[in-house]
Structure 1
Amino acid sequence: MNQTELIRFGTGRQLTEIDYLSELLSYQTSFKSIKSINQLITTVSQVIKDINQGLLPQQLPVLEVTDTMISDVQKFILNKFPTQPAKGNALWGKMSDDLEAIDFLVRHLRDALIEYFSMYGYVSTPFIQDLSTYLAGKPVLELMAGHGYLSAGLRAYNPTQTIIATDNQLWREQPDITLYQPVTTVENMTGLAALEEYGEQVAVIIMSWAPDTSTADWELLQVIRNQYPSKKLLVIGEYLGATNSKVFWQQAKLNPILATHHHTFDLIDEQVYEVE
């Protein structure tokens, strides 16, 4: 696989109606002559399209309408109506409202990924390539795998590597469970049960986007320290933020890694850590 080819993790959702995507693309015609805005819309919409088709998307920049983009719109209007300020002001009023709407949509991409695809942590092709290289083919156990995007990507990128994905799947108790199925095989078991079953068989344990509503992550860290001290633990989440318990962050010894292709694109500063 070359560096520009996206990783196919499965079939995707194949949704035919995605309101978020339709709304975002509705602004493309109005801004077709403004390259920076058009590129922002294209970048974000392509993420949705890729995941829907079963492909892990590209890395994202920080998603927002910047001052430079606003300036590009203003220059466009001045060039269009250089001697007609009333028409220019009217067009600016319309386009500035549209810019606010676009800014809101791109800043809330993660909400759309959660709503339509149950992807909480952003899993891109470049990140999986980096992570797979870092893992160097060692057997991996993923705890709290959720819908399995991380494990699916690793399995697709290196089919010979042992990747065990587990989750207690409490989300199955929520409505519309037929819409929210894992994208790869995820064994239904708690983190503690997964460690007991597979802890001795793997070299690396991964915990991505553990919930901040319980201290299960802290309990798992203590078990790993006491019973599996030779295993490497990787945690993906936001320090003292949207993921993991406060006590976990307070007690964990953190070493940030793999920042090249895994960094924030919105207000959630998720990172990858080696944890002791």
Structure 2
Amino acid sequence: MRSEDYLKKLTSYQIKMANLQCGLERIAQARQIIGAYQRQQLPQEVKTKLLFSEEELFNHPELMVLEDELLNLRQVVIEDFGIWHIFSQEWVADLKEYVGSGLGLELMAGNGVLSASISELIATDNLDWAGQDNESPQAWQRVEQLDAISALERYGLKANYIILAWAPDTSQVDWEILNWLRTKHWSGKFIVIGERNGATNSSKFWQEANLLKPRLLNQHHQAIDFINDEVFLVK
């Protein structure tokens, strides 16, 4: 579904749910995300999870139809913008504070959405997803076409921090990355964003990774739907 069509659907629900504040809040969140991406910007903030509570659904059964529509947001964002991980300007500010100055490397960077907001972050991706979920990806920033291990070999030892967001659960490349860093005794910050033992990353990675959840990197990071992704520092 195109984002323009999705916004039209949300507008119709906005009219129907005019007296339900909980519905309006979630519609506003979805509209803010889509509107920002249409301007090739990040949403200022992402504060509201799109799912309703059991109590809200019990008291207002009509919200179930709206929730189904809201849960289409991620697929719309993937198909129309080539973006899998939804984050905000607030979160990027926290990330910049956490990593400080110095060179960063993003693996599997997709459309370079994050690197477009951080001047010293090199975006790399093998781009094998192009033409699948998203037929015409429009990069926000130059993305160097390198698979993850090749990117590590070229930039890894120079980087002060490395970011891996939403690695697929269909391969063990994430484990190969972690093993490479350990073998090289790399001492920087390896930041991984994903759902532990869930929709992202391999089971091997989650079994072998030593995980911390930095407060600063999670205070403005909001899972938007049933995928409960978080931000981890990995050793």
TM-score computed with the length of structure 1 as normaliser: 0.77
Ranges in structure 2 where 5+ consecutive residues have no aligned partner:
none
Q: Which structure has the bigger radius of gyration? A: 1
Equivalents in 2 of 1:229, 1:32: separation in Å? 54
Equivalent of 2:146, from 154, 164, 189? 189
Q: What's 1:49 paired with?
A: 35
- Root-mean-square deviation (CA, aligned residues, Å) is 2.2
Partner SS for 1:170: coil
Does residue 137 of structure 1 match 2:95?
no
| One of 63, 80, 87 as aligned partner of 1:123 | 87
Q: 1:34 to 1:215 in 2, by over 3 A?
A: closer
2:222 paired residue number: 263
Instruction: Note if contact 2:115-2:141 (Cα within 8 Å) is conserved in structure 1.
Output: yes
Partner of 1:18, secondary structure, is helix
On the 8 A contact 2:3/2:76 being kept in 1, the answer is no
Aligned partner of 1:167 among 113, 121, 125: 125
Q: Who is 1:254 aligned against?
A: 211
Q: Which residue of structure 2 aligns with residue 59 of structure 1? A: 46
- In 1, the alpha carbon distance for the partners of 2:212 and 2:32 equals 32
Q: Select between 229-238 and 105-114 the one with higher mean Cα deviation.
A: 105-114
1:10 paired residue number: none
Correspondence 1:153 to 2:112: no
Is the contact made by 1:143 and 1:194 (CA closer than 8 Å) also made in structure 2? yes
Which of residues 143, 165, 168 in structure 2 aligns to 1:208? 165
Give 3-state SS (helix, strand or coil) of 2:174's partner: helix
SS of match in other structure, 1:205: strand
Number of corresponding residues: 231
Deviation for aligned residue 1:47: 1.4
Q: Distance in 1 between matches of 2:224 and 2:176?
A: 30
**How do 1:52-131 and structure 2 match up within 5 A?**
52-57=38-43, 58-66=45-53, 67-68=55-56, 71=59, 96-97=61-62, 99-131=63-95
Look up the SS of the partner of 1:207 in the other structure.
strand
Q: How far, CA to CA, are the matches of 1:33 and 1:238 in structure 2?
A: 34
**Structure 1 range deviating more: 37-46 or 250-259:** 37-46
Q: CA deviation at 1:173?
A: 4.9
Deviation at 1:200, TM superposition (A): 2.4
> Is contact 1:142-1:206 (8 Å) kept?
yes
> Structure 2 vs 1, CA of residues 28 and 259 (structure 1 numbering), >3 Å: closer, same or farther?
same
Q: CA deviation at 1:247?
A: 0.4
Runs of 4+ in 1 over 3 A off after TM superposition: 33-36, 65-71, 173-177
Q: Which letter maps to 1:59?
A: V
For 1:119 and 1:148, the matched residues in 2 are separated by: 9
Q: Closer, same or farther in 2 for the Cα pair 1:259/1:184, shift >3 Å? A: same
> What is the aligned partner in structure 1 of residue 231 from structure 2?
272
Cα distance in 2, alignment partners of residues 173 and 62 from structure 1: 29
1:131-180 alpha-carbon deviations (Å, 9 max, x no partner): 0111112210111111122222223xxxxxx2111011112353864x21
Cα distance between partner residues in 2 of 1:175 and 1:218: 24
